[in-house]
Amino acid sequence: MRRLLASALLIVASVGLGGCGYNKIQGQDEAVKAAWSDVINQYQRRADLVPNLVNTVKGYASQEERVLVEVTEARAKVGTIQLTPELINDPAAFQKFQESQGQLTQALKSLISVTENYPDLKSNENFRDLQVQLEGTENRITVARNRYIDAVRQYNVTIREFPTNLTAKWFDYDVKPNFTVQNEAQISTAPNVQFDTSKPGDAKPAAPSPEKN
């Protein structure tokens, strides 16, 4: 008798949880985690390309020290962020992640723009291969980010709708941060690049002396 009663209560509880959206929240939460893992994998793929890309450019355009340093520092900053699963539940940490990746994106755009000034570098087979890999990775990042944006949108809508919002509150599920419009605009903005065409050892022009009255 007790076993029958326990089984009945379990069935009622299962139906109740399903009807109140609990199972739907679980499924969408897992979808967000999977989409986020893909975003991280693609960003890591890009980060792994940076050292070889920088070294190749340095071999032909070592005088572009400013751009090379910017890329290296941006890549290092990305590496300091702990990419834990909890990051997608922490708006402040997620914003920091966005900013660091945006800075690396801009630095890489500057680096590629600089290479337009060095025909020998552009014709280098190793550089061309790295550039193709980088372009392919950027496309994968775009796809992964779009999938994550959509997964988070669906999840956030679900836990804000009635009556699933009551279930979300009961089990402490909250909205997840998403990539912002401002961040997307920043990433898509072309960098302002000034070429340094001087050669190592060239004397720099002296600064004009102030006029005397």
Decide if pLDDT at 164 tops 90.
yes
- Residue 162 within any structural domain of the chain: yes
Decide if 9 is inside a domain. no
Averaged pLDDT for residues 113-127 = 92
CA gap 77, 99 in Å, rounded: 10
Residues spanned by the domain of 170: 21-188
Phi, psi torsion values for 20, nearest 5 degrees = -90, 5
Q: How many other C-beta atoms are found inside a 10 Å radius of the C-beta of residue 198?
A: 11
pLDDT tens figures, 26-48: 999 999 999 999 999 999 999 99
Q: Note if the bond before 163 is cis, omega within 30 degrees.
A: yes
**208 within some domain:** no
Read off the CATH number of the domain in which 99 is found: 1.20.1440.20
In the chain, how many domains are there? 1
DSSP 68-109: HHHHHHHHHHHHTS---GGGGG-HHHHHHHHHHHHHHHHHHH
Does this model's pTM top 0.95? My answer is no
The pLDDT score that the predictor gives to residue 82 is 82
- Could you tell me if residue 198 is inside a domain? no
For residue 211, being part of any structural domain is answered with: no
Q: What is the pLDDT of residues 201-210, one digit of tens each?
A: 444 444 344 4
Flag whether 60 is in a domain: yes
In a domain, 124, yes or no: yes
Asked whether residue 5 is assigned to any structural domain, the reply reads no
Taking the C-alpha atoms of residue 111 and residue 107, their distance in angstroms, rounded to an integer, is: 6
